[in-house]
């Protein structure tokens, strides 16, 4: 948790409170930041969940997993090289597309009921831990703010989710353990998967098949 001392006069959601490359290479855990993060926030994040009230340039760069909620502006080149995970961004001015690197990701409205639940729950935790004024405002007027959020997700990652459970939910609701998926991503990329493949029953693991085929 990162938040400003009580009694400060400035707007927390408009001031940088945590420096560059925070959560670089994070693999697990949660972070709640009542304020703006510097550049390259959550770069190479593979499993952590974070809520922040704005990020600098290159946010979520090369992210491979986890969840990030941004309750404010992003800098340029957002989600460059992002191959996994999901980011929910509050796009109040409807101009996120001008700062997002669209080579590997796309953005859409947050309409899936499970995505809505996930987003709201993460903001609730953020408020509980940091007493965030911005978070409280959003929760108090959630129906008004929800259409302003964008879900940023990689193309390949989205196809993998859609292949599981008819796209109704992310990997959390499928029979495939998320830690196994992360492990197999690493194994395949490092060309160590040939031996491991013999240990897995592929018949009941459609998500792993997609990862396998993608890296052929």
- Say how far apart CA 122 and CA 92 lie, in whole Å: 19
Residues 6+ apart with CB under 8 A from 192: none
pTM for the complete prediction?
0.76
Structure tokens at 65: 């997993």
Confidence bin at 214 (pLDDT 50/70/90): very low
Give the pLDDT band of residue 121 (cuts 50, 70, 90). Answer: very high
Q: What is the pLDDT of residue 161?
A: 79
Average pLDDT over residues 165-177: 44
Instruction: Identify the helix (H) or strand (E) that includes residue 16.
Output: strand 16-18
* CATH topology (fold) of 12-154: Pectate Lyase C-like (2.160.20)
- Is the Cβ–Cβ distance between 15 and 36 less than 8 Å? yes
Residues 75/64, Cβ–Cβ less than 8 Å: no
Confidence band for 3, pLDDT divided at 50, 70 and 90: low
| Sequence spans of domains, the chain | 12-154, 175-214
């Amino acid at each position: 948790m990162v938040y400003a001392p009580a009694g400060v006069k400035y707007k927390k959601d408009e001031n940088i409170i945590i420096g560059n490359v925070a959560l670089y290479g994070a693999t697990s855990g949660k972070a709640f930041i009542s304020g703006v993060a510097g550049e390259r926030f959550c770069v190479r994040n593979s499993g952590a969940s974070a809520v922040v009230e704005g990020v600098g340039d290159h946010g979520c760069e090369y992210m491979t997993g986890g969840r990030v909620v941004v309750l404010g502006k992003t800098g340029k080149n957002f989600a460059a090289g992002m191959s996994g995970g999901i980011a929910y961004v509050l796009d109040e001015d409807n101009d996120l597309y001008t700062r997002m690197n669209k080579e590997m990701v796309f953005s859409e409205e947050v309409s899936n009921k499970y995505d809505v639940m996930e987003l709201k729950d993460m903001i609730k935790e953020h408020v509980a831990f940091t007493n965030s004024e911005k978070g409280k405002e959003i929760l108090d007027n959630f129906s008004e703010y929800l259409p302003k959020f964008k879900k940023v997700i990689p193309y390949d990652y989205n196809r993998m989710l859609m292949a599981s459970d008819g796209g109704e939910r992310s990997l959390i609701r499928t029979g495939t353990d998320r830690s196994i998926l992360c492990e197999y991503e690493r194994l395949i990329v490092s060309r160590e998967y040939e031996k491991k493949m013999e240990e897995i029953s592929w018949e009941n693991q459609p998500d792993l098949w997609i990862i396998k085929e993608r890296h052929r």
